[in-house]
């Protein structure tokens, strides 16, 4: 570590500013991890779970005001306001740094400042990047150890090279003799999740939860990395990566973008319900993609763990996720049972008598307050997933054959449709949307447009981002090797308000069609919105009562789509002259096909 002067200077500068009582360089060892966990158990911040039921696992309750990402306190501080675009909060970098320097001044008093060297991506991969996070939260350290490759080996690789500096403080200095709270954090109006894309810096203040605090994840791997990717000609995307093997033993990888809390983890770990098919997991949230020497697009998962939504995860809905968090896992804001295990709504069995809720009250069915917060999470090592792909840590990444977009759409969108070509696929990504979920605080209910599932994560102007995708198609070394693009919707509802499609493991039936389209072994029906399956080409064997619903599941209703076009045009309006002409053309062509 002595080698990297920039790193040493930078740590000194922040030590002086934040005034911690000590500085600890994290080596990532088992011993260090255990010491931090023991410390948090002693202070009352953590509870060690039942060693028999949940070995080496810990339970945390956050402050009720600090339970998810805070989009209205998240800022992209590019030099020019127009480069942040209409979908981001902007503040001039100098101004934001002045405000935050005030906040960080003495913000770590009475606490230890941890220095966390981490790699996003397999150590030494050409697609990977190194960051260093400073934090005064031991909870963040133990989570970063699961979510990233963290510790001394990262410093060894870093040498005197450049890194992405990530500063984080809970914003809760401790005065002499002051009793610490269980989950220190700052009030919402004092939280700032700030990104400086021109200098690749992240300054996060006031929150200890998830993407606000584990800075490798959304802040680095998406908001900063999307800027790096834009400048350098690659892709940093909010996508799961999975391998699919068909009954003949042919394997293909796909990447899929869905907004937070729309089932990416479930899809990435799906257990097929039709015989002969196999799914393996590379990642459940983020994909970094670059063209390989063979002209194909290769993806790595920059993360090393899953930060998954707990509620409604069960041995029924996602056994692989349940098995991933069987041990060595951190649980945040679930319920806690009297025998020190976790419980959440939809876990698949009744709530044990005497369970404590995430707000630390005795669970009472009568008051209708859930035991687990809807955004309760498990932090589990990826290697514990029984379905983890053998190439999940391959530094070259895995070749991507198809890209999927999706969201929760109760109407209009069929189960699957395929784009006519690359630009039409980019258009499909640009118009993606979803019903609002619990993964962020303070959003209005209803459908919100979430282009490429990147609305909260694209670190620059969304119009330029669409243009970057268009350009990726143009500059691809071999356009015939570009992934095929699809949109899926598992969440269409019938007139009875119930989901039409069973979802979960049965989603393989849609993926099988996608697989066959990529192979070129199945025909499709051309509609105004794209190619959809012939009814008989979706394998519904063994699904009760689906046959009569297939027309509705695959329906493309011209009237609904005309209305959809109006909403698309309205949403496009905000991008002004940064909306690529290719997207306007796609919208015009769609309207013409619908007329």
User: Could you tell me if 253 and 299 are in contact, meaning their C-beta atoms sit under 8 angstroms apart?
Assistant: yes
Q: Give the position of tokens 């619990």.
A: 438
Choose between 10 and 258: whose C-beta lies nearer to ligand SAT: 258
Q: Give the whole-angstrom CA distance, residue 133 versus residue 164.
A: 8
| Residue 71 in contact with Mn ion, rule: CB under 5 A | no
Q: Give the whole-angstrom CA distance, residue 416 versus residue 202.
A: 38
Q: How far is the CB of 387 from ligand SAT (least distance, A)?
A: 20
Q: Give the whole-angstrom CA distance, residue 56 versus residue 51.
A: 6
Choose between 209 and 291: whose C-beta lies nearer to Mn ion: 209
| Residue 62 in contact with ligand SAT, rule: CB under 6 A | no
Choose between 111 and 217: whose C-beta lies nearer to ligand SAT: 217
Choose between 117 and 263: whose C-beta lies nearer to Mn ion: 263
User: Could you tell me if 169 and 136 are in contact, meaning their C-beta atoms sit under 8 angstroms apart?
Assistant: yes
Write out the H or E segment, with its range, that includes residue 291: strand 287-291
- What is the β-pairing status of strands 149-150 and 46-48? unpaired
Among 163, 307, 417, 465, binds ligand SAT (CB under 6 A): 307
User: Could you tell me if 505 and 425 are in contact, meaning their C-beta atoms sit under 8 angstroms apart?
Assistant: no
Q: Give the whole-angstrom CA distance, residue 17 versus residue 108.
A: 9
| Residue 305 in contact with ligand SAT, rule: CB under 6 A | no
| Residue 580 in contact with ligand SAT, rule: CB under 6 A | no
From 197-205, 257-265, 468-476, 572-580, span contacting Mn ion (CB under 5 A): 257-265
Binding mask 283-322 for Mn ion (x = CB under 5 A): --x-------------------------------------
| Residue 122 in contact with ligand SAT, rule: CB under 6 A | no
Q: Give the whole-angstrom CA distance, residue 144 versus residue 137.
A: 11
Choose between 225 and 439: whose C-beta lies nearer to ligand SAT: 439
Q: Give the whole-angstrom CA distance, residue 121 versus residue 149.
A: 8
| Residue 210 in contact with ligand SAT, rule: CB under 6 A | yes
Among 439, 454, 518, 529, binds ligand SAT (CB under 6 A): 439
How many C-beta atoms lie closer than 10 Å to residue 558's C-beta?
13
DSSP string, 477-488: S-GGGSPEEEEE
Choose between 264 and 296: whose C-beta lies nearer to ligand SAT: 264
Of the candidates 62, 372, 438, the one whose C-alpha atom is nearest the C-alpha of residue 213 is: 62
Q: Give the whole-angstrom CA distance, residue 561 versus residue 583.
A: 17
Among 85, 138, 206, 211, binds ligand SAT (CB under 6 A): 211
User: Could you tell me if 151 and 211 are in contact, meaning their C-beta atoms sit under 8 angstroms apart?
Assistant: no
Among 69, 73, 223, 449, binds ligand SAT (CB under 6 A): 69
In the range 226-265, which residues lie near ligand SAT by CB under 6 A? Answer: 260
How many C-beta atoms lie closer than 10 Å to residue 46's C-beta?
24
Choose between 69 and 468: whose C-beta lies nearer to ligand SAT: 69
| Side-chain-facing half-sphere of 54: CA atoms under 13 Å | 21
CA 11, 12, 17, 21 torsion-angle sign: positive
Binding mask 201-240 for Mn ion (x = CB under 5 A): ----------------------------------------
Dihedral over alpha carbons 375, 378, 383, 385 (to 10 degrees): -70
Among 260, 265, 318, 401, binds Mn ion (CB under 5 A): 260
User: Is 262 in the active site?
Assistant: yes
Binding at 69: pick from ligand SAT, Mn ion, none (beta carbon under 5-8 Å per type): ligand SAT
Q: How far is the CB of 71 from ligand SAT (least distance, A)?
A: 10
Binding mask 267-286 for Mn ion (x = CB under 5 A): ------------------x-
| Residue 218 in contact with ligand SAT, rule: CB under 6 A | yes
Phi and psi dihedrals of 276, rounded to 5?
Answer: 90, -15
Of the candidates 507, 485, 498, the one whose C-alpha atom is nearest the C-alpha of residue 254 is: 485
Q: Give the whole-angstrom CA distance, residue 409 versus residue 387.
A: 28
Binding at 211: pick from Mn ion, ligand SAT, none (beta carbon under 5-8 Å per type): ligand SAT
Binding at 374: pick from ligand SAT, Mn ion, none (beta carbon under 5-8 Å per type): none
Count interface residues toward Mn ion (CB under 5 A). 2
- What is the β-pairing status of strands 377-381 and 398-406? unpaired
- Classify residue 575 as exposed, middle or buried by CB count within 10 Å of its CB (0-12, 13-18, 19+): buried
Q: Give the whole-angstrom CA distance, residue 231 versus residue 293.
A: 20
Binding at 307: pick from ligand SAT, Mn ion, none (beta carbon under 5-8 Å per type): ligand SAT
Binding at 439: pick from ligand SAT, Mn ion, none (beta carbon under 5-8 Å per type): ligand SAT
From 189-197, 210-218, 295-303, 360-368, span contacting ligand SAT (CB under 6 A): 210-218
| Residue 296 in contact with ligand SAT, rule: CB under 6 A | no
Q: Give the whole-angstrom CA distance, residue 222 versus residue 459.
A: 7
Q: How far is the CB of 505 from ligand SAT (least distance, A)?
A: 22
Among 129, 168, 217, 230, binds ligand SAT (CB under 6 A): 217
Q: Which of 262, 325, 385, 458 is catalytic?
A: 262
Binding at 149: pick from ligand SAT, Mn ion, none (beta carbon under 5-8 Å per type): none
From 67-75, 226-234, 258-266, 561-569, span contacting Mn ion (CB under 5 A): 258-266
Q: How far is the CB of 20 from ligand SAT (least distance, A)?
A: 25
Q: How far is CA 221 from CA 227, 228, 395, in A?
A: 10, 10, 16
From 32-40, 156-164, 209-217, 290-298, span contacting ligand SAT (CB under 6 A): 209-217
Q: How far is the CB of 235 from Mn ion (least distance, A)?
A: 16
Choose between 172 and 376: whose C-beta lies nearer to ligand SAT: 376
Binding at 210: pick from Mn ion, ligand SAT, none (beta carbon under 5-8 Å per type): ligand SAT
User: Could you tell me if 47 and 59 are in contact, meaning their C-beta atoms sit under 8 angstroms apart?
Assistant: yes
User: Could you tell me if 245 and 260 are in contact, meaning their C-beta atoms sit under 8 angstroms apart?
Assistant: no
Choose between 436 and 522: whose C-beta lies nearer to ligand SAT: 436
Length of the chain: 595
Q: How far is CA 518 from CA 251, 352, 387, 404, 586, in A?
A: 11, 47, 23, 12, 23
Footprint of Mn ion (CB under 5 A): 260, 285
Footprint of ligand SAT (CB under 6 A): 69, 210-211, 217-218, 260, 307, 439
Could you give the residue numbers annotated as active site?
A: 262
């Amino acid at each position: 570590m002595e080698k990297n002067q920039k790193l040493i200077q930078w740590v000194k500068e922040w030590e002086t500013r934040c005034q911690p009582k000590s500085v600890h360089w994290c080596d990532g060892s088992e011993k260090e991890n255990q010491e931090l966990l023991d410390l948090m158990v002693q202070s009352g911040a953590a509870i060690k779970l039942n060693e028999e039921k949940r070995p080496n696992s810990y339970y945390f309750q956050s402050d009720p005001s600090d339970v998810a990402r805070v989009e209205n306190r998240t800022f992209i501080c590019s030099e020019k306001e127009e480069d942040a675009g209409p979908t981001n909060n902007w503040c001039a970098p100098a101004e934001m740094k002045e405000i935050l320097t005030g906040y960080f001044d003495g913000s770590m008093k009475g606490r230890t400042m941890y220095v966390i060297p981490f790699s996003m991506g397999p150590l030494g991969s050409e697609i990977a990047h190194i960051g260093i996070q400073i934090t005064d939260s031991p909870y963040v350290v133990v989570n970063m150890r699961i979510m990233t490759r963290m510790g001394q080996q990262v410093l060894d690789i870093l040498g005197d090279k450049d890194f992405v500096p990530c500063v984080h403080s809970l914003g809760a200095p401790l005065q002499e003799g002051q009793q610490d709270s269980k989950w220190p954090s700052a009030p919402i109006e004092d939280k700032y999740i700030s990104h400086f894309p021109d200098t690749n810096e992240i300054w996060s203040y006031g929150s200890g939860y998830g993407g606000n605090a584990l800075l490798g994840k959304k802040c680095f791997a998406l908001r900063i990395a999307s800027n790096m990717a834009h400048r350098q000609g690659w892709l940093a995307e909010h996508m799961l990566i999975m391998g699919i093997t068909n009954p003949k033993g042919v394997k293909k990888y796909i990447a899929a973008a869905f907004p937070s809390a729309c089932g990416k983890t479930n899809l990435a770990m799906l257990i097929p319900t039709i015989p002969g098919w196999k799914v393996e997991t590379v990642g459940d949230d983020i994909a970094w993609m670059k063209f390989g020497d063979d002209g194909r697009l290769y993806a790595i998962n920059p993360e090393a763990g899953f930060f998954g939504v707990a509620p409604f995860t069960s041995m029924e809905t996602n056994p692989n996720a349940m098995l991933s968090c069987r041990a060595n896992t951190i649980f945040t804001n679930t319920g806690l049972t009297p025998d020190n295990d976790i419980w959440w709504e939809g876990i698949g069995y009744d709530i044990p008598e005497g369970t404590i809720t995430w707000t630390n009250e005795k669970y009472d069915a009568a008051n209708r307050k859930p035991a687990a917060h809807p955004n309760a999470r498990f932090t589990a090592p990826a290697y514990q997933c029984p379905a983890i792909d053998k190439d999940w840590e391959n530094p070259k990444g895995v070749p991507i054959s198809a890209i999927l977009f999706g969201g929760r759409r109760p109407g209009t969108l069929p189960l699957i449709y395929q784009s006519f070509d690359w630009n039409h696929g980019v258009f499909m990504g640009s118009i993606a949307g979803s019903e609002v979920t619990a993964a962020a605080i303070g959003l209005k209910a209803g459908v919100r447009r979430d282009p490429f599932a990147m609305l909260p994560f694209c670190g620059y102007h969304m119009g330029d981002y669409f243009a970057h995708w268009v350009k990726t198609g143009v500059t691809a070394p071999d356009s015939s090797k570009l992934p095929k693009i699809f949109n899926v919707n598992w969440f269409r509802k019938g007139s009875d308000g119930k989901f039409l499609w069973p979802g979960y493991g049965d989603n393989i039936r849609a993926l099988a069609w996608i697989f066959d389209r990529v192979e070129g072994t199945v025909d499709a029906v051309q509609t105004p919105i794209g190619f959809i399956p012939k009814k008989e080409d979706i394998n519904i064997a063994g699904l009760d009562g689906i046959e009569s619903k297939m027309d509705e599941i695959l329906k493309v209703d011209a009237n609904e789509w005309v209305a959809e076009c109006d909403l698309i045009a309205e949403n496009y309006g905000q991008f002004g002259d940064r909306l690529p002409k290719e997207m306007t053309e796609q919208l015009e062509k769609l309207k013409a096909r619908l007329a």
